[in-house]
Structure 1
Amino acid sequence: MVDVYIDGASAGDPGPSGAGIFINYKNGQVESHAVPLEMMSNHEAEYEALIHALDLCIDKGIKAVSFRTDSKLIDDAIEKRYVKNKKYQPYLEKALEKIDQFDLFFMKWVPSNQNRNADQLARQAIRKKK
């Protein structure tokens, strides 16, 4: 199973944003992706990071993944398959459609200090955009 760490960041609310994706294949191979995003809120950037990471995994033919995020909002939304704030409903629907393509999918909340690689990549993506 592949471990995928994701994080979204915004410089403002809304502001220039970025997605960080760190993929650990657990065979010594890792991938880092710093994806510049448009102006958006931090929560929207978190969803964009999730969707970009899902697309990467699907494109690579990965069928079993364990996603890690330090966003309670994302973790809760995926676990419950529900969002309170209807603003995020389209993001959730898009993510769930992609998640359902995997044979095995796990989402786990981790503290920020265990998600440093993805966080640094998200911040790097913001700097790329500026």
Structure 2
Amino acid sequence: MKMKIKWEYEHKGAHTHFESDWLEQSFILPIVDDLQKIGRAKTIVVMDELGNEWTRKEFIKLGQQLEQEPTEITIYFDGGFQLETLKAGIGIVMYYKKNRKQWRIRLNDQLDELDSNNEAEYVALFRAVQLLEEMGVRNTICTFKGDSHVVLKQLSGEWPCFEDSFNRWLDRIEEKIHTLGITPLYKPINRKQNKEADKLANQALEGIMVNSERQLE
């Protein structure tokens, strides 16, 4: 998550306010300490993209907590459906940072009792949000990417949804996101950009199950 610094300046009767650009978390504390050395920055606060604010002391404590929690989360999802077998496959790939390291989770599942490829897409996204809950993700920004423009644009409110069965999945997804305090960013992509999640969904249809987590750097 990006953050910015806001501070109050006062010198010889001049009094005004400044704020920085959005910065990576690692840049914040050195700049705050440098501003304090100048001696003219009266009140310094750090603000995140959700509007939360912290003093220097609170920000240091926050940084210690964030090192143990997933941040900068991006999720790719996809779903597929076979008319011949009436089986669905879903694939999810999650990238995130923890302890200043990049991690990736890959998982898929084969499901019965779904009716279409579109429904499989909704279920894939719902399962991705469940994964966030299982990981203890709360009160942060998450980016969701998929090649189902219908699902993502309906969730963002750009397109209406007229199917009752799909509306039920939309309600479940939105309720879970709200409960977790997540601010979602929905970004439709093309199938080529979604090839990891697509491969996992197809593997699930073939009975090849994947559930892995590994550090990338």
Partner of 1:117: 196
Match of 1:107 among 168, 186, 189: 186
Question: What value does the CA root-mean-square deviation take over the aligned residues?
Answer: 1.9
**Would the alpha carbon gap of residues 94 and 128 (structure 1) be closer, same or farther in structure 2, given more than 3 Å must change?**
same
Query: Contact between 1:4 and 1:53, CA under 8 Å: does it hold in 2?
Result: yes
Q: Which has the higher helix share?
A: 1
**Would the alpha carbon gap of residues 85 and 59 (structure 1) be closer, same or farther in structure 2, given more than 3 Å must change?**
same
Partner of 2:32: none
Shift of residue 24, structure 1, vs aligned partner: 0.8
Shift of residue 128, structure 1, vs aligned partner: 1.3
Partner of 1:4: 75
Query: What is the aligned-residue identity percentage?
Result: 28
**For the pair shown, which has the larger CA radius of gyration, 1 or 2?**
2
1:90-105 map, 5 Å? 90-100=168-178, 101-105=180-184
- Any stretches of 5+ residues in structure 2 without a counterpart? 1-71, 209-217
Query: Contact between 1:23 and 1:31, CA under 8 Å: does it hold in 2?
Result: yes
- Any stretches of 5+ residues in structure 1 without a counterpart? none
Matched residues in 2 for 1:45 and 1:13: separation?
A: 15
Partner of 2:129: 54
Bigger relative contact order (CA 8 A; separation at least 6): 1
Match of 2:106 among 32, 37, 42: 32
CA displacement 1:87-126 (0-9 Å, x = unmatched): 2111111011012123321111011111000000011111
Say which is worse superposed, 6-15 or 103-112, in terms of deviation. 6-15
Matched residues in 2 for 1:92 and 1:99: separation?
A: 11
**Would the alpha carbon gap of residues 60 and 110 (structure 1) be closer, same or farther in structure 2, given more than 3 Å must change?**
same
With structure 1 as the length reference, what TM-score do the two structures score?
0.90
Matched residues in 1 for 2:137 and 2:151: separation?
A: 21
Partner of 1:21: 92
Shift of residue 70, structure 1, vs aligned partner: 0.5
Match of 1:72 among 149, 159, 165: 149
With structure 2 as the length reference, what TM-score do the two structures score?
0.55
Partner of 2:117: 42
Letter of the structure 2 residue corresponding to residue 95 of structure 1:
I
Query: Contact between 2:92 and 2:197, CA under 8 Å: does it hold in 1?
Result: yes
Query: Contact between 1:14 and 1:42, CA under 8 Å: does it hold in 2?
Result: no
